[in-house]
Amino acid sequence: MPNTKAKPDETLSTVQPFEFSKEFSKKLKDLDLLKTVDHIKKHGYAVMDAGVTEEFNQKLRKTCIRLTQETEGPAKGYAAAILLGRDPIYEEVVLNPKIQAMVEVMCGKGALLSQLIASVRPKGAPQIGLHADQNWTPAPFPVHNQLLTLCWACDEFTKEGGCTKVIPKSHLKRRHPLPKEITAQKGAIPVECPPRSLVMWDGSIWHSNYPRNIESDRVVIHITFSRLALRTVESYDHLDDKWLEGKPKELATMLGRDDFLGHKDFTKGGAGGEFEKLAKTFTWARS
């Protein structure tokens, strides 16, 4: 039974984006994140210093490179996936207090680690195409942001070096870019910053990167968190392929076995290894 004596504002538990409690505002101030929060709110992206030593950054960079060598196939040496648990250093990455705070700002409390991958981009690496990371959310995007991606730049980010490219304020359109907008990339700018920086953006902003035109590798850790919403109430992980054998394919689909989300295999260096599944996921998600 609802508590009819409660004042209306006490029964409404939903807050607007960027509406914080006093305690959380203080935390953001203490972490010197108020300008970062303001920037991501207005422009859809922001940059902050990770607050780590050069030594830590170098150790992280080396660990990423080592793990990309464990990847099999064409991504070997270029990508490593499902990093948490593969080396203790990644616990320090995801527990970084500034990262944790920005995750709460953008995805609320209880947000989930959605993806933790490393990429190594050598000279000649081409740009990836313009996109919004909320690729499996249909437009118009909800008022509340769904995903936060942070790129930990182990190396300096310059346009020449193939840094991330963003279209500031494109998050306000709250939709995916159209093919002609993907080609035009109107208003795109490079996000340049020193090593040990975190470049981050919301799930709606249109972004890509520049081709790398300089010697040496660009090593980045891509950290994505998502809101806890839409996770299933029950887990059917125990119903394995053997249980599904010979049963209608709709059963596999409703258990999420036909889309790329929730993959467990890090041998290919990411979910991108299965392009058919990826394309199907994006198409189904927007239906």
Ligand X SMILES: O=C(O)CCC(=O)C(=O)O
Query: Which residues contact Fe ion by CB under 5 A?
Result: 133
Name which of 156 and 258 has its Cβ closer to ligand X. 156
Name which of 133 and 259 has its Cβ closer to Fe ion. 133
CB of 180 to ligand X, least distance (A): 20
Name which of 20 and 282 has its Cβ closer to ligand X. 282
CB of 128 to ligand X, least distance (A): 6
CB of 76 to ligand X, least distance (A): 18
User: Binders of ligand X among 16-45, rule CB under 6 A?
Assistant: none
> Which of the choices Fe ion, ligand X, none does residue 222 contact, using the CB cut-off of 5 to 8 A by kind?
ligand X
CB of 193 to ligand X, least distance (A): 11
CB of 5 to Fe ion, least distance (A): 48
Assess 118 for contact with ligand X (CB under 6 A).
no
Ordered DSSP codes for the chain: ---TTS-HHHH-----TT---HHHHHHHHHTT-HHHHHHHHHHSEEEEE----HHHHHHHHHHHHHHHTT--GGGTTTEE---TTTSTHHHHHHT-HHHHHHHHHHH-TT-EEEEEEEEEE-TTPPP---B-S-TTSPSSPPSS--EEEEEEESS-B-TTTT-EEE-TTGGGG-SPPPHHHHHH-TT-EE--B-TTEEEEEETT--EEEPPP-SSS-EEEEEEEEE-STT--SS--TTS-HHHHTTS-HHHHHHTTTTSSTT----TTSSGGG-HHHHHHHHHHHT-
User: Binders of ligand X among 129-188, rule CB under 6 A?
Assistant: 133, 149, 151, 164
Assess 209 for contact with ligand X (CB under 6 A).
yes
Assess 278 for contact with ligand X (CB under 6 A).
no
> Which of the choices Fe ion, ligand X, none does residue 96 contact, using the CB cut-off of 5 to 8 A by kind?
none
Binding site for ligand X (CB under 6 A): 128, 133, 149, 151, 164, 207, 209, 220, 222
